[in-house]
Structure 1
Amino acid sequence: MTEGQSIPRNLRHLRLLPAIAEHRSLTGAALVSGLSQTAVTHALHKVETAVGSALFDRNSTGAFPTDRGQVLLARVRRALDRLDPALDALAPGLSRVVTHSQLIALIATAQSGNVTLAARQLGLAQPTVHRAVTELERAAGRSLFDRARSGLVPRRACLSLCRAARLAFAELDQAEADLAEFDGREGGRVVLGALPLSRSNLLPAALVAFRQERPETPVIVHDSRYEDLLAGLVAGEVDAIIGALRDPAPVAEVEQHPLFDDRLCFVSGPGHPLTKESAPTIASLVQWPWIVPRLGAPARRQFEEFFAKHGLRPPENVIESGSVLLMRETLRQSEMLGCISGWQAAAEVQHGLMTALPIQPDVPARQIGVTLRRDWMPTTAQRRMLDLLKEAARNF
């Protein structure tokens, strides 16, 4: 597989690969698929041409996957295992007729709620997208959208199919990376969701080490809200989320792997009046304005529980932010107080940019780690990034 070549997205052709491997012959694959042997031979030739090598060794005893064929087969099977149950739940036999183009049109329409916007997003003509969605609905024997004044509202079955299709297509993207690695090239990309705590020390250290080892592999870091990152993770658009783990795990589709424990830290700017008091009280903390994590974050929950534990209402004069830079500069220019990860605060305090308050929260340690999609199979590059995150956590 040379530069510029990619896995073809003709689902009917890709479905033939597991059939050929299972029956060890093109004739057997033709029988179970309802195609002629000539059609199967032609389809296999197109796939092999696209990936740049033979995928099966064919001789008098049968057809057997090559080493490269095994690499691709593993991902194709995973893709179909994700896609076909959702298709067959809509209509028996739908998996035999649905096309990649139809699914792409469905996903774009469900995301935008409008066929015209979906067509613009895909760079296609509006009738083309409309026809693809209509043909898919006709094959399924049901409508996949409710028509409302606001646009097209995807039904539950539609959302389920879109999610399965995105996961299937993510597996095919992974296949391209796997084949590149098999050929001795850097392949694929790494997409990380970075929660506030990971951005100051842990992730930068891992990224620097990763870039030294793999100078050509693209890395994309998203620093969105946890809920947005989680949605991307479940849909196969984000590989891993790094930051505070949730207890319990938010959805059954993910698994959490701890890296280290962290405790909250109360800080101020250098020279704050509270740092000069010999014995400040917990009640005195409520009188000051604060910068705190946003509602719903584990650290915010612990912040509020700390005051409740001591019979006090949490401070109400707060700014919500997860940015260390914003907190540092705001504390430096004011007499506000900050609630931050102790792990993050350590470097700021060490350099004299923040000061740890005489009173610190007596709350349990939080687990910091990596959240992954359950049953995810990382590429070589993705696995290496996870290893480097573990190494970085041990070094801090």
Structure 2
Amino acid sequence: MLSRIKLRQLRLLIAVAEQGNILAAARQMGLTQPAVTKSLKDLEQDLGLELFKRSNRGVQPTIYGETLLRHARLVLAQLGYAGEELAELQSGSGGRVRVGTLLAASAYLLPAAIERLRISRPKVQVAIVQGTNDQLAAPLEDGELDFVVGRLPEFRHRKGLSQETLTDEAVWLVVRDGHPLLKSGSNLAFLELLNWDWILPPETTTLRRQIEKSFHDAEVEPPVPAIESVSYLSNRYLLIATDMIGVWPSQAVRDDMANGMLARLPLGLADAVGSVGVTKRREAALTPAAEALIQELRAVAADL
């Protein structure tokens, strides 16, 4: 059934799905609309399956189309990796790594590992995409990312993915140095925290659920955040410049605490220690550059 599929058809399949319109896909591919229509029909006839539903509003993948799309993206990604790996072998120290990162790794663990990597492989290129586990899962599964590094999600056995714990890290309530709440000392209670604006990660994250559990355990309603963000730079600026409260992994805040910019509130969180590690596709072969970066992540984590 699949032996006659051409790479050009896979690229066309992806373009049509992303554009939702045959004419737009044709323009993207530099083809005529009739050529795209014929190529799709030929593919559907070869497979004996309807890949797209046509309507006046455009085209939408069927369940068969979605399945083939998922594999098409992986096939093209793996071919891209193969080309990069061949180039690495030819050059000796080049290559490219696409890594997704969460707040827990973006402040220190990943930058420190990249610094080490560039000593041994100075020509390597690293592309970093920041987001939540939910936001990064699809690009990882589709082969757009080599791996994700950060706080490991609650689902440890997601189909097709494997996880490796690098270190365990505490999570702290953080404010600017000199914040009025710091005067309360050990008498600080969760109820007092509701009088201040909060910066929190999205509701779908493990860290957000952990925060809400801490408030529920204290029989206090969790705060409604003024800002929902996983941006390290934005969150850091707002915490230093305002009286907002944030929740940060200890490694992300350690330098600012040492420099007197930020401070930790003396209140513990439920399950305050979480695992930080690497998530990758179970069956995918990583390029030498990606493997080398994971090795450096292990080395940095071992020294924490």
Could you state the TM-score of these two structures normalised by the residue count of structure 2?
0.92
Compare relative contact order (CA 8 Å, sep 6+) and give the higher one, 1 or 2.
2
Q: Give the one of 33, 49, 62 matched to 1:126.
A: 33
| 1:266 and 2:173 are equivalent in the alignment | yes
CA apart distance, 1:179 = 3.0
Cα distance between partner residues in 2 of 1:95 and 1:383:
31
CA apart distance, 1:318 = 3.2
Secondary structure of 1:314's counterpart equals coil
Could you state the TM-score of these two structures normalised by the residue count of structure 1?
0.72
Cα distance between partner residues in 1 of 2:240 and 2:2:
60
| 1:235 and 2:148 are equivalent in the alignment | no
1:310 corresponds in structure 2 to 218
**Residues 100 and 148 of structure 2 are in contact (CA less than 8 Å); yes or no, is this contact kept in structure 1?**
yes
| 1:371 and 2:279 are equivalent in the alignment | yes
The sequence identity of aligned pairs, in percent, is: 33
Cα distance between partner residues in 2 of 1:256 and 1:145:
35
**Residues 180 and 186 of structure 1 are in contact (CA less than 8 Å); yes or no, is this contact kept in structure 2?**
no
Q: Give the one of 276, 289, 294 matched to 1:381.
A: 289
CA apart distance, 1:120 = 2.8
**Residues 101 and 148 of structure 2 are in contact (CA less than 8 Å); yes or no, is this contact kept in structure 1?**
yes
**Residues 258 and 368 of structure 1 are in contact (CA less than 8 Å); yes or no, is this contact kept in structure 2?**
yes
CA apart distance, 1:184 = 5.2
Cα distance between partner residues in 2 of 1:365 and 1:140:
50
Cα distance between partner residues in 1 of 2:266 and 2:284:
45
| 1:209 and 2:93 are equivalent in the alignment | no
Cα distance between partner residues in 2 of 1:149 and 1:309:
53
1:174 corresponds in structure 2 to 81
**How is 1:1-396 mapped onto 2 (pairs within 5 angstroms)?**
94-183=1-90, 185-186=92-93, 188-249=95-156, 251-278=158-185, 279-396=187-304
Amino acid at match of 1:307: F
Amino acid at match of 2:281: R
Spell out, residue by residue over 1:323-352, the C-alpha distance to the aligned partner (whole angstroms, 9 max, x if none): 233223222332221111122122221111
C-alpha distance 317-293 of structure 1, shift in aligned 2 (>3 A) = closer
Amino acid at match of 1:176: G
C-alpha distance 328-164 of structure 1, shift in aligned 2 (>3 A) = closer
Spell out, residue by residue over 1:242-293, the C-alpha distance to the aligned partner (whole angstroms, 9 max, x if none): 1111122373011111111112201111111111124222221222211111
Secondary structure of 2:87's counterpart equals helix
Spell out, residue by residue over 1:52-73, the C-alpha distance to the aligned partner (whole angstroms, 9 max, x if none): xxxxxxxxxxxxxxxxxxxxxx
**Residues 108 and 118 of structure 1 are in contact (CA less than 8 Å); yes or no, is this contact kept in structure 2?**
yes
CA apart distance, 1:187 = 5.2
Cα distance between partner residues in 1 of 2:63 and 2:35:
24
Cα distance between partner residues in 2 of 1:119 and 1:216:
36
Using the TM superposition, name which of 306-315 and 210-219 deviates more. Answer: 210-219
Cα distance between partner residues in 2 of 1:364 and 1:273:
23
Spell out, residue by residue over 1:186-230, the C-alpha distance to the aligned partner (whole angstroms, 9 max, x if none): 454211111122111011111122222222232211123433321
Cα distance between partner residues in 2 of 1:394 and 1:144:
48
C-alpha distance 120-394 of structure 1, shift in aligned 2 (>3 A) = farther
Secondary structure of 2:286's counterpart equals coil
1:63 corresponds in structure 2 to none
Cα distance between partner residues in 2 of 1:128 and 1:276:
72
C-alpha distance 323-176 of structure 1, shift in aligned 2 (>3 A) = closer
Amino acid at match of 1:323: S
**Residues 101 and 132 of structure 1 are in contact (CA less than 8 Å); yes or no, is this contact kept in structure 2?**
no
Secondary structure of 1:262's counterpart equals strand
Q: 1 or 2, which has the higher strand percentage?
A: 2
Cα distance between partner residues in 1 of 2:254 and 2:294:
24
Which 5+ residue runs of structure 2 have no aligned equivalent?
none
